[in-house]
Amino acid sequence: MASFTNLSVPLLLLTILFPTLALCYINPDATSVHQNATKSSASRAYIVLVEPPRSNAGEDAHRQWHESFLPTSLADESSESRLLHSYTEVFSGFAVRLTDAELDAMAKKPGFVRAFPDRTLQLMTTHTPEFLGLKNGTGFWSRAGYGKGVIIGLLDTGLYAKHPSFDDHGVSPPPTRWKGSCKAARCNNKLIGAKSLIQGDEFGDEEGHGTHTSSTAAGNFVTGASYHGAGVGKGTAAGIAPGAHIGMYKVCANRRCKQSAVLAGLEEAIKDGVDVLSLSLGGDTSASFDDDPIAIGAFSAVSKGILVVCAAGNSGPRMGSITNEAPWLLTVAAGSVDRSFAAGLHLGNGRSIDGEALTQKVSLSSKSHPLLYSEERRNCNYKSDSGITGKILVCEGTRSKTQQSNIHRIVGAGAAGVVLFNDEISGYATMVQDFNSSVVQVSAADGDVLIAYAASSESSSMASLIYNNTLFGVRPAPVVPFFSSRGPSVVALGILKPDILAPGLNILAAWPPSTSSGRGPFNIISGTSMATPHVSGVAALIKSIHPDWSPAAIKSAILTTSDIVNSTGGSILDEQHRKAGVYDTGAGHVNPTRAADPGLVYDLSVTDYAGYICWLLGDSGLATIVRNSSLTCAKLPKVHAVQLNYPTITVSATSTPFTVKRTVTNVGPANSTFTVKVDAPRSLTVRVSPETLAFSKTGEKKTFSVSVSSHGLSEELHVEGSLSWVSEKHVVRSPIVAVSPRGDTAPDPSP
């Protein structure tokens, strides 16, 4: 995937900055990916799926089997130069460089299943643990042992092993079941696995992205952490699961993540024995699951009890922009936290405008300067001699390298400062950037105020810049920022995506000493890449307390206990300060403490997912995704998406009652009674039977039915409600989404 960045904008934001450049090609005809392309003698990389060898052979035999598919044209050259990876865990297959003619020949060999072009995927803290209710030495964090004994595997850009976030003080030795190896500059009880899956590449982190995500998930406690040591965001940094172990699989380099390397990382992580996989990357939002090698590989991980947590993508706020949509994945959207790197302006008319500045002066004169706004120079494309000396310029932020260079130049040429207001799409969600101490960023709404004030004659349109360092308790929080990809899924109709919301805006975490996109020891960046490891860390905490829970049970616990209100007690808002919907937030904002004790869970097995795949894709899809020859669609009941035992409910909005069934498992006190509570708008009628669930033992299962009908829908494409099972101790909440048949993503009303 083509990608570009500048000195202050992190890699994960590439879709935000350059959406037209974030392109990768995959032919939709995956059974013959080259059919409609012009034949070429040049080789390209393919991921090839083949049937497994007939005998239960070891890795060497698998590799020999894979090499048997290579065309005779490779006989005169080393297979090592063309055979990139050999896979046995994620599926049976390999990655190889082939010409079109060679792929044609390979496709005719017995045992060949299908091939995919090897495409490129995109890479999608001192306060966030406290924001999530985690406090050192007390409560759930302490009871969970800070994630003790759990191994989080991350597929990313590597990490800077010498960072203090990866010290192992207080961290126990890894479990004896761990089979991985560590090839980093420093390995210990914290960093127990480090491998590069990129040919010819040594382990490290030239980008910073992997150092940031891994320290967010499981970094150790580091006192006195702040942005570039400048005091902004100062505090004690820690990951969400600081007692957990880290296995880093380097699958990205030079801002590129080749799919074949990602699959190789999945392969190694499964073999090594990780408990949770964290993938802050994503690709095509419209690929069918059997055309998506990552969905296929992740299914193998889930079938072995590994929870796979993925980024929702950074292509928001466009509806239907979600990626990583498979129901066996836990898909994470991004939200803000209640922290601000506070700065602003005092206007000559007495009004104050609040904003943020990543770099702040310790002291600043309160001297006022004239405000200057020019529609012609709206993006700060001023010349050095255009009358800017001594003035504060008001400009619209573009997050571009060109604008950043312009700002450095015009401040150096004598401008008193620059105020950047968000564009209309960004709204109230400010993604901070490091310009210099004379730049303040404000919301789009406050930009309108400043434009009007600059054009007026009141008080000669004077203003002064102010800096307040770091403020906590900022309200409202969380807010869903503009970049977080939105549902609905265009592939998984009937499955609500994203699943959950977590901190992803302006997140401070570990960083290498120096990279092309920032310097350490700590950096502040934004994206669903940052939200993902927060949830991976929460999953590790839950796994530490409940080691026998399945991936689906952990996901259910996280979703059904999530928060649906913000810090003011009102609804969670989006970047325009409108009420955020389920396609923005999923089930709600993650709440780690409640997730560890959910009361009930909606569990799912490999067989359940296989039945869903049979309904969605048939025998060919099942054979591609599920590595179990004993499972065939003829032997499995087809599970319609709306009937999958998912912890959220999505149905078609029809006047005829639409009934789905769900089964819950008691994971709370043995003797527990739950009563149903339904919240729904007037246009939605929801009936649940039975209305009470009485359990007599832990692990007991109960099935109930939910009947949904709608009436009086006007122009709405969907309506939202919820179903909660309430006991003395627990509230187990599931969103209900009724999609209008007019919507492109309405589920089939006839399951």
CATH code assigned at 99: 3.30.70.80
In 3-state terms the chain splits into helix, strand, coil percentages (rounded to 5) of 25, 25, 50
Residue tagged active-site, from 62, 163, 209, 534: 209
Q: Flag whether 36 is in a domain.
A: no
Mean pLDDT of all residues in 93-99:
93
Which residue out of 215, 300, 443, 529 is catalytically annotated? 529
Boundary (domain end) residue, out of 430, 465, 500: 465
Give 185's pLDDT tier (boundaries 50, 70, 90): confident
* Residue 744, pLDDT score: 56
Residue 227 lies in a domain: yes
Query: Which of these three, 443, 465, 487, is where a domain ends?
Result: 465
Dihedral (CA of 362, 363, 368, 369) sign: negative
The total number of structural domains in the chain stands at 5
User: What confidence tens digit (pLDDT) does each residue in 498-553 have?
Assistant: 999 999 999 999 999 988 778 889 999 999 999 999 999 999 999 999 999 999 99
pLDDT of residue 438: 87
What CATH code is carried by the domain that includes residue 206?
3.40.50.200
Same domain, 211 and 330: yes
pLDDT the model gives residue 2: 33
The pLDDT tens digits for 605-652 are 999 999 999 999 999 999 999 988 888 999 999 999 999 999 999 999
Q: Phi and psi at residue 173, in whole multiples of 5°? A: -60, 155
Secondary structure class of 163 (helix, strand, coil): coil
**146 with 158: CB under 8 angstroms?**
no
Q: Residues 549, 413: one domain?
A: no
Residue 472 domain flag: no
Give 181's contacts (C-beta < 8 A, 6+ positions apart): 193, 194, 195
Establish whether 346 is a catalytic residue. Answer: no
In a shared domain, residues 276 and 154: yes
**Residue-level pLDDT at 367:** 85
SS3 label, residue 508: strand
Q: In this structure, which amino acid lies at residue 214?
A: S
Mean pLDDT for the stretch of residues 186-193: 96
Q: Are 507 and 565 in contact (CB under 8 A)?
A: no
Can you give the pLDDT at residue 13? 28
- The Cα–Cα gap between 106 and 116 comes to 13
578 pLDDT above the threshold of 50: yes
Would 20 be classed as within a structural domain? Answer: no
**What is 571-585 written as a DSSP string?**
B-EETTSSBP-HHHH
Give the SS3 label for residue 399.
coil
Q: Which domain holds residue 356?
A: 343-465
At 289-340, the pLDDT tens digits run 999 988 999 999 999 999 999 999 999 999 999 999 999 999 999 999 999 9
What is the β-pairing status of strands 369-372 and 462-472?
Answer: antiparallel
What confidence tier does 127 reach under pLDDT thresholds 50, 70, 90? low
CA angle (230 as vertex; 372, 207 as ends), nearest 5? 90
Q: Please say whether the dihedral angle defined by the alpha carbons of residues 183, 186, 192 and 198, taken in this order, is positive or negative.
A: negative
Establish if 10 belongs to a structural domain.
no
* 308 and 218 in a common domain: yes
Reference 666, options 600, 615, 743; nearest CA is 600
Report, as an integer, the average pLDDT of 274-278: 98
For residue 221, the 8-state DSSP code is P
In a domain, 30, yes or no: no
Residue pLDDT, tens place only, 449-493: 999 999 886 657 899 998 888 888 999 999 999 999 999 999 998
Distances (CA, A) of 512 to 158, 223, 417, 505, 573: 11, 17, 30, 20, 34
On whether the CB atoms of residues 718 and 740 are closer than 8 A, the answer is yes
Contacts 24+ apart (CB under 8 A), 408-415: 408/435, 408/436, 409/384, 410/380, 410/382, 410/384, 411/436, 411/438, 411/439, 413/384, 413/385, 413/388, 413/389, 414/384, 414/388, 414/389, 414/390, 415/382, 415/388, 415/389, 415/390, 415/391
- Same domain (yes/no): 512, 619: no
Check pLDDT > 60 for residue 86. Answer: yes
Q: Give the 3-state secondary structure of residue 666.
A: strand
Q: Which amino acid is at 371?
A: L
190 lies in the same domain as 272? yes
Rounded mean pLDDT of 3-27?
A: 28
Which pLDDT score, from 0 to 100, does residue 283 have? 76
Q: How far apart are CA 410 and CA 407, in angstroms?
A: 5
Residue that terminates a domain, selected from 598, 614, 635: 598
Mean model confidence pLDDT for the chain: 88
Catalytic residue status for 529 = yes
Distance CA 647, CA 130 (A): 27
Same domain, 139 and 244: yes
Structure tokens at 204: 């490290």
The verdict on 252 and 280 lying in the same domain is yes
- According to DSSP, residue 248 is labeled E
Does 122 fall in a domain? no
CATH number at 417 reads 3.50.30.30
pLDDT (0 to 100) of residue 64: 87
* 355 and 332 share one domain: no
Paired tokens of 599: 């009361």
Least confident of 149-153, 227-231, 461-465: 227-231
Domain match, 566 and 681 both:
no
Question: For position 259, what pLDDT does the model report?
Answer: 93
One of 66, 85, 92, 156 is an active-site residue; which one?
Answer: 156
Q: Are residues 413 and 538 both part of a single domain?
A: no
pTM of the entire structure? 0.91
Q: In angstroms, how far apart are the furthest CA atoms of the chain?
A: 85
Same domain, 434 and 502: no
Position 75 pLDDT exceeds 50: no
Which whole-number Å values give the CA distances from 89 to 192, 273, 291, 325, in the listed order? 21, 12, 18, 22
Catalytic residue list contains 278: no
Alpha-carbon distance 532 to 171, whole Å?
23
Residue 554 inside a domain? The answer is yes
